[in-house]
Amino acid sequence: MITDLTGLPMSNASLLDEGTAAAEAMAMCNNIVKGKKKTFIIANNCHPQTIDICKTRADGFDLKVVTADLKDIDYSSGDVCGVLVQYPGTEGEILDYGEFIKNAHAQGVKVVMATDLLALIMLKPPGELGADIVVGSAQRFGVPMGYGGPHAAFLATSQEYKRMMPGRIIGVSVDSSGKPALRMAMQTREQHIRRDKATSNICTAQALLANMAAMYAVYHGPEGLKTIAQRVHGLAGAFAVGLKKLGNIEVQGIPFFDTVKVTCADAHAIADAAYKSEINLRVVDAKTITGTSVAFQITVSFDETTTLDDLDKLFKVFAGGKPVSFTAASLAPEVGNAIPSGLLRQSSYLTHQIFNMYGTFMKRRPTCSLQIKCATLTIICYLFRLRVIRQIFLYLELLDALKENEMFNNLGDLLCTITGFDSFSLQPNAGAAGEYAGLMVIRAYHKSRGDHHRNVCIIPVSAHGTNPASAAMCGMKIVPVGTDSKGNINIEELRKAAEANRDKLSALMVTYPSTHGVYEEGIDEICRIIHDNGGQVYMDGANMNAQVGLTSPGFIGADVCHLNLHKTFCIPHGGGGPGMGPIGVKKHLAPFLPSHPVVSTGGIPATDKSHPLGTISAAPWGSALILPISYTYIAMMGSKGLTDASKIAILNANYMAKRLENYYPVLFRGVNGTVAHEFIVDLRGFKNTAGIEPEDVAKRLMDYGFHAPTMSWPVPGTLMIEPTESESKAELDRFCDALISIREEIAQIENGKADIHNNVLKGAPHPPSLLMGDAWTKPYTREYAAFPASWLRTAKFWPTTGRVDNVYGDRNLICTLLPVSQMVEEEAAANA
């Protein structure tokens, strides 16, 4: 969908929002020139929140961001790595960027274009204009506005820059039968492998929303989308025609797609009158757009929900109480296409069969994905208990969304109570975004004290891969410290590192309980060492579900911490997004919390030169639509319920560890012989005794109907198992039984009863297409491959493909839909 509409061949599997996608594109431009050019230009026709996010992000890369009018953009310094433009612009205008892009390329400057997918149904694609990178939001494709999110952003680029792209990339490979299969491609670019050398810290994106947007396109198809786009454009055109009839109002920004800019005698009076008619208009404010003097201007945007009655209301508002001699319906004969022929789209789009199957494809998909109703998910399971839907536009006046803002404040207060912090920012819309925001708060704090030189961040080698990636994005130098034989941070090594860098120490990033599944006994001392050497303590709150009600980051000694609301506080994670990563801080860091250029929120400047760090996310409260889930969950559970949830999560992990310890080594335990909310089973020995790798165990678990736990992290050759409080004992037992059964299968290889190269683990998974094929050459039966446990005969979730060839997928990278003939073959095989 994205590649078709943007006209570029490569696209990732979503980003957090349009503003952060633009910042990621800016980082790509910097990486393309290997950091040798330190200026990035943003045209002032871009959205104000996008400009601010890029400025915040650029600070960590030591990039200079310059905003300028398109006609004033100058590349003569030779120091410009890229330029960002909006298409259509923030005030609705559509410009032909063809010559602009040619001039930029002549100077060695990469062009990033932020765009609107619905507009691209009618407009010439950015790729055809010559853009190098295209970003935007897919919100308009069937996703509620939700007061700011969650919405799936996108980033598309050329094949040349594929290895510099941020985020997940889904590519085509082949399975063990040679049939097409999809997989995550080029993972060696990502933070969980490359750590501080990663292209981005992006981990959680917006997978659920990306699927919603894609299914919207599948549902409507190319003709349906064209009808929607033409209707929206027609409504904007009718509005412009009607305003001209009213007189005394100048329509500007022509040509336009869906947003009309007008100049009138008193913009604020018109906006107030519209508000009384339950219509929100945007008064163009020079402070938030261009920095130049703009007066008496309003922009009005239309979408597929707008009606002719809405237009009639608008005409009455702009008439200022005078009678209107026409209706919106009567204007139809006078409405034409406001887009010049040279900018109209000529190329086809969404021609693949999937977008022309009238919903058949949508009907088949649910049977192909493992759902929580089918099996326990021990891979850092994210829960879905509650659903709240609100259709609220993002940048309303605060009064318009009073109840929502009251709820946000109440949620912040509850999180402060739970964590022991003094203030919270709800702006970061993912865990990794929270890490980045928290470190930038620390950076801003040091700078306010004149400690610009404090740029060293100490990070344990066991840390989440996002930790070093986030620190690198903040311009910090990473100093790693090791762990001891019990999985704890080596305190003496930490002390030496802190003391050696005491004049440059900025922060420590620490996860509690640790990623090794143990409560660090020396966490108090660790925090004290950092503070004694002038640093701040950043706690990664990914494991907060093992703290709630039992201890807290504030009590332990942390200065800032992010929370994964999508893990600890009930928000559905949708297979990789949405998420929320709000940050809590102690009082001395509160003035530096993220701010926003459109809606007043975040840190408050103080007399001691304390200033908010800037904007982190496109929306002031991040993915606001999903915040009511966490608020309601906390309110319904209460103090006792939340504490019990933590206890049960810990109990579940210890129960499973106890059941499995006689079959697999449990790698780390605390001083009392127990684990925290997760534990690591060691599979490394099986490589020598049976030739079995962790991937073999993970694939065999699919035959038992389970998604594998986290594999080969934080220790290579292991599985990290993390059950949650929501799983029943029966489900935990079923998962343990599967692993115990697999251990017996490994023993068959060790004892010589099964071939070391051709066995049920190496052959896993076994999809129906393989089991029902004419030929069967394996040394074990089809029945044993499919039903290794008796309970699978009652209910079994079937894998849809054989083992996917990872090497083939990376060497033959294809990130667009397969040809129709291959799709038909794949569908037939999956449903055989």
pLDDT, tens digit (0-9, with 9 covering 90-100), for 688-735: 999 999 999 999 999 999 999 999 888 999 999 999 888 899 999 999
Residue the block writes with tokens 């506005």: 145
Give the pLDDT score at 667. Answer: 95
The CA distance from 318 to 79, in Å, is: 47
Asked, for residue 58, whether it belongs to a domain, the answer is yes
Give the pLDDT score at 684. Answer: 98
Asked, for residue 351, whether it belongs to a domain, the answer is no
Give the pLDDT score at 814. Answer: 77
Q: Which residues contact 827 (CB under 8 A, 6 or more apart)?
A: 364
Helix (H, G, I), strand (E, B) or coil at 48: helix
Q: What is the DSSP string of 214-250?
A: HHHHHHHHHHHHHHHHHHHHHHHHHHHHHHHHH-S-E
Nearest by Cα to 526 from 507, 544, 547:
507
The CA distance from 606 to 499, in Å, is: 31
Asked, for residue 665, whether it belongs to a domain, the answer is no
- Residue count (the chain): 832
The CA distance from 22 to 234, in Å, is: 29
Give the pLDDT score at 94. Answer: 97
* Domain range for 101: 1-168
How many domains does the chain divide into? 4
**Tokens (6 digits) for 358:** 């009238």
Same domain, 304 and 452: no
Q: Please say whether the beta carbons of 11 and 166 come within 8 A.
A: no
Same domain, 230 and 278: yes
Same domain, 339 and 440: no
The CA distance from 141 to 601, in Å, is: 28
Give the pLDDT score at 402. Answer: 59
User: Please, what's the largest Cα pairwise distance for the chain?
Assistant: 93
**Tokens (6 digits) for 232:** 């929206």
Same domain, 128 and 173: no
Give the pLDDT score at 464. Answer: 80
Strand 10-11 and strand 477-481: the pairing is: unpaired
Same domain, 146 and 190: no
Strands of the 10-11 sheet, one edge to the other: 10-11, 153-157, 133-137, 110-116, 80-87, 39-43, 64-68
Please give the helix or strand (H or E) that residue 478 lies within, else none.
Answer: strand 477-481
Ranges of residues in the chain with a pLDDT under 50 are 287-294, 379-394, 397-399, 827, 830-832
Give the pLDDT score at 390. Answer: 43
The CA distance from 685 to 718, in Å, is: 10
Q: Please say whether the beta carbons of 680 and 702 come within 8 A.
A: no
Give the pLDDT score at 389. Answer: 36
Dihedral sign for Cα atoms in the order 41, 42, 44, 48: negative
Strand 423-425 and strand 39-43: the pairing is: unpaired
Using the 3D structure, point to which of 597, 632, 667 is the last residue of a domain.
632
Asked, for residue 237, whether it belongs to a domain, the answer is yes
Asked, for residue 601, whether it belongs to a domain, the answer is yes
Same domain, 244 and 155: no
**Tokens (6 digits) for 193:** 């492998």
Strands of the 536-541 sheet, one edge to the other: 423-425, 583-585, 560-563, 536-541, 505-511, 456-460, 477-481
pLDDT tens column, 266-297: 888 899 999 899 899 999 865 444 444 445 78
Give the pLDDT score at 32. Answer: 96
The CA distance from 724 to 564, in Å, is: 14
Q: List the CATH number of the domain containing 30.
A: 3.40.640.10
The pTM of this model reads: 0.91
Q: What is the DSSP string of 725-783?
A: TTS-HHHHHHHHHHHHHHHHHHHHHHTTSS-SSSSTTTT----HHHHTSS----SS-HH
Using the 3D structure, point to which of 305, 321, 343 is the last residue of a domain.
343
Give the pLDDT score at 247. Answer: 85
Q: List the CATH number of the domain containing 321.
A: 3.90.1150.10
Asked, for residue 366, whether it belongs to a domain, the answer is no
Within a 10 A sphere around the Cβ of 326, how many other Cβ atoms? Answer: 14
Strand 282-283 and strand 297-301: the pairing is: antiparallel
**Tokens (6 digits) for 189:** 């670019």
DSSP state of 60: H
Asked, for residue 699, whether it belongs to a domain, the answer is no
Nearest by Cα to 149 from 569, 572, 438, 578:
578
Same domain, 43 and 84: yes
Strand 456-460 and strand 505-511: the pairing is: parallel
Using the 3D structure, point to which of 632, 656, 672 is the last residue of a domain.
632
Q: Please say whether the beta carbons of 571 and 475 come within 8 A.
A: no
Same domain, 120 and 219: no
